[in-house]
Amino acid sequence: MDIQLDVAPCGYFSIADSGIIQSINQTLLTLLGYERNELLGRHIEATMSVTNKLFFHTYFYPYIQLYGHVDEMYFSFRTSDQQDVPVLLNGVRQTRNGESVIDCVVVVMRKRIEHEKDILNTKTKLQELYQATHEANKERDTVHRWPLPIGVSITLQ
């Protein structure tokens, strides 16, 4: 693997059709807390929780076999200390040296998820504010529609 790919600002790995890791860049190794010799030759499932193994076999493999690529699949890998790392996974199946391989790029999604949570919280607060304003305006309109008793006047200042 050349140095540029090894230290690229995204994770990269290549697996055989069987799921055995053939190459993996240092960026992904660092992210997951492994040494290269701990993962090379092992199944990619070694970096997954049970749930993500099921997801990988249910969606990733069939999709890449059928279409030859996977774009923007939301996924989680598991670090060596058992922490989940949310990622966006892109993959392409191709033939190299007469063998079928699946090359994948991994982009960490932690910050995006936090931004999305902030956006959702802000949206919820704005909806609550809108609802409160709407209710206050309805009350105001109701008060202004009531006829005043004879001889009573309101002076606005």
pLDDT of residue 129: 79
pLDDT of residue 1: 74
pLDDT of residue 156: 62
pLDDT of residue 157: 59
The model carries a pTM of: 0.69
pLDDT of residue 123: 76
pLDDT of residue 79: 95
pLDDT of residue 140: 74
- Tell me how far apart the terminal alpha carbons of the chain are, to the nearest angstrom: 78
CA dist., res. 100 & res. 151, Å (int): 92
| H helix or E strand, kind and range, residue 80 | none
Instruction: State whether CATH 3.30.450.20 applies to domain 3-108.
Output: yes
Residue matched to tokens 């699949």 = 73
pLDDT of residue 137: 76
pLDDT in tens, the chain (157 residues): 789 999 999 999 999 999 999 999 999 999 999 999 999 999 999 999 898 999 999 999 999 999 999 999 998 999 999 999 999 999 999 999 899 999 999 999 865 556 566 667 777 777 877 787 878 777 777 766 666 566 656 666 5
As given in the structure block, the two tokens for residue 16 are: 């055989």
Q: Which residues are CB-neighbours of 40 under 8 A, at least 6 positions away?
A: 21, 22, 23, 24
Domain range summary for the chain, segments of one domain joined by +: 3-108, 110-148
In the chain, at which residue ranges do the beta strands (DSSP E only) sit? 11-16, 21-24, 69-78, 84-96, 99-108
Query: Amino acid letter at 44?
Result: I
Phi/psi at 113 (5° precision): -60, -40
